[in-house]
Amino acid sequence: MSDSEESANKLVVVGDMGVGKTCIISRFINGTFTLNPVSTVGANYSRKIIDVPELDKELILDIWDTAGQEQYKSLAKIFFQGAKLAILVYDITRKESFDSMKDYWYKKLKEFAEQDIVIGIAGNKSDLYLNEAVPEKEARNYAKSIGAAFGLTSAMNNSGIEDLINTMGIKFLDPNYVINESEEESKSEEKSEQKTEEKEEEKKEKKEDKKEEKKREKEEKRREKEEKKREKEERKREKKEEKRQKKEEKRREKELKKQEKEEKKQEKEEKKQEKEEKKEEKKEEKEEKKEEKEEKIEEKEEKIEEKIEEKMEEKKEEKKEEKEEKKHEKEEKKHEKKEKKEEKQEKKEENKKIKLGGKKKKTKKGFC
């Protein structure tokens, strides 16, 4: 065993799963905070040398972390064995983690660790003080009852861890060293009073917020109701309007149909009238034509008559003329006849005379 190993002191950090053990160690060793740290299985301790200025001494610590076995409450005896210091961690927002710390982890320590083990209790996640489930005073009293140091810690905000380990270091190095606990207590009481005030304030604000919220919700509901009522009325009005419009449309359609019917009827009548008028016109035209024809015929007849008359007249005239002529002819003939008769007579006479004269001359001239 080397010198440092000889002087190294085993510090175990125990408590329920999820209370923040790994985060506390990580914050203390590396000064970092990881939201979801992964535990290393196996060699899970880290060494850190701390200063204890109050005693002007140094302390070598081998800080042991669990590897998740605490989930099944199956930490091996060996984990506790030889531990000179121990931090019992609970989550201030989870009452069961505090109970489990008292009823299980503390007992395990007493069972397997060194008898004069220096214990520190860390009420972790103090940044979530608004959700505090374990009153600080109760935890502090418990710590007092088992002779443990107490500190509210936050791995997230990096508060309380160094103070707690420092107090444990002092206790470890000088068991007779008296820490002014009343000062600490009053400080913490002050803090807790402040916290209570803040809490009260917060509660008040929350209450008022809730009141406001309820008021708003009520108002919202009232508005929704009114909106629904308005919508209902609107729908009713719309339906009514729709009905009225439909009725109006039907009425208009009916009227339109009626009008159309009347128009058609009128058209029909007009056509009929037109037809009749045309018929009448045609008839008139026909009659006119007929009249005209008749007139023409009459005219023609008249003309014919006139012509006939004329012709008759002409014929009459002709006949008369003919008659006249004939008469004239007759007269002429008569005259001719008379003349012929007279000529004959004359000839006769002449002949007589000739005869007479021939008889006398016969003797002179021959027969003729």
Sheet with 9-14: strands ordered across: 45-52, 57-64, 9-14, 85-91, 118-124, 149-152
Q: Which two tokens stand for residue 100?
A: 């489990």
Question: With respect to Mg ion, which residue has the nearer C-beta, 41 or 179?
Answer: 41
State whether residue 149 is helix, strand or coil: strand
Verify binding: residue 1, ligand GDP, rule CB under 6 A: no
Verify binding: residue 22, Mg ion, rule CB under 5 A: yes
- Where does this chain touch Mg ion (CB under 5 A) — which range of 19-27, 191-199, 233-241, 333-341? 19-27
Question: With respect to Mg ion, which residue has the nearer C-beta, 87 or 170?
Answer: 87
Q: Which does 18 bind (CB under 5 to 8 A by kind): Mg ion, ligand GDP, none?
A: ligand GDP
| Contact with ligand GDP (CB under 6 A) among 97, 100, 124, 188 | 124
51 has which bridge partners?
58
| Contact with Mg ion (CB under 5 A) among 29, 33, 39, 114 | 39
Q: What is the C-alpha to C-alpha distance for residues 171 and 85, in angstroms, rounded to an integer?
A: 10
| Contact with ligand GDP (CB under 6 A) among 50, 60, 156, 173 | 156
State whether residue 159 is helix, strand or coil: strand
Q: Which does 23 bind (CB under 5 to 8 A by kind): Mg ion, ligand GDP, none?
A: ligand GDP
Q: What is the C-alpha to C-alpha distance for residues 328 and 324, in angstroms, rounded to an integer?
A: 6
| Single-letter amino acid code for the residue at 40 | T
DSSP class per residue in 15-61: -STTSSHHHHHHHHHHS---SS--PPSSS-EEEEEEEETTTTEEEEE
Q: What are phi and psi of 151, to 5 degrees?
A: -155, 140
Q: What are phi and psi of 177, to 5 degrees?
A: -65, 125
121 has which bridge partners?
88, 150
User: How far apart are CB 154 and ligand GDP at their closest, in Å?
Assistant: 4
Question: With respect to Mg ion, which residue has the nearer C-beta, 165 or 170?
Answer: 165
Question: With respect to ligand GDP, which residue has the nearer C-beta, 36 or 363?
Answer: 36
Q: Which does 146 bind (CB under 5 to 8 A by kind): Mg ion, ligand GDP, none?
A: none
Verify binding: residue 18, ligand GDP, rule CB under 6 A: yes
Question: With respect to Mg ion, which residue has the nearer C-beta, 21 or 140?
Answer: 21
Question: With respect to Mg ion, which residue has the nearer C-beta, 20 or 167?
Answer: 20
Verify binding: residue 331, ligand GDP, rule CB under 6 A: no
- Where does this chain touch ligand GDP (CB under 6 A) — which range of 99-107, 114-122, 150-158, 287-295? 150-158
Buried/exposed 96-124: b ≥16 CB within 10 Å, e otherwise: ebbebbbeebbebbeebbeeebbbbbbbb
Interface characters, 102-121, with Mg ion (x: CB under 5 A): --------------------
User: How far apart are CB 21 and Mg ion at their closest, in Å?
Assistant: 5
Q: Which two tokens stand for residue 22?
A: 């790994």
**Beta strands 118-124; 57-64: pairing state:** unpaired
Interface characters, 183-212, with ligand GDP (x: CB under 6 A): ------------------------------
Which residue intervals of the chain are DSSP H helices?
3-7, 21-30, 77-80, 95-100, 106-112, 136-146, 161-173, 181-365
- Where does this chain touch ligand GDP (CB under 6 A) — which range of 30-38, 52-60, 139-147, 256-264? 30-38
Verify binding: residue 21, ligand GDP, rule CB under 6 A: yes
Q: Which does 19 bind (CB under 5 to 8 A by kind): Mg ion, ligand GDP, none?
A: ligand GDP
Verify binding: residue 167, ligand GDP, rule CB under 6 A: no
Q: What is the C-alpha to C-alpha distance for residues 86 and 72, in angstroms, rounded to an integer?
A: 20
Per CB under 5 A, residues contacting Mg ion are 21-22, 39
Per CB under 6 A, residues contacting ligand GDP are 17-23, 35-37, 124-125, 127-128, 154-156
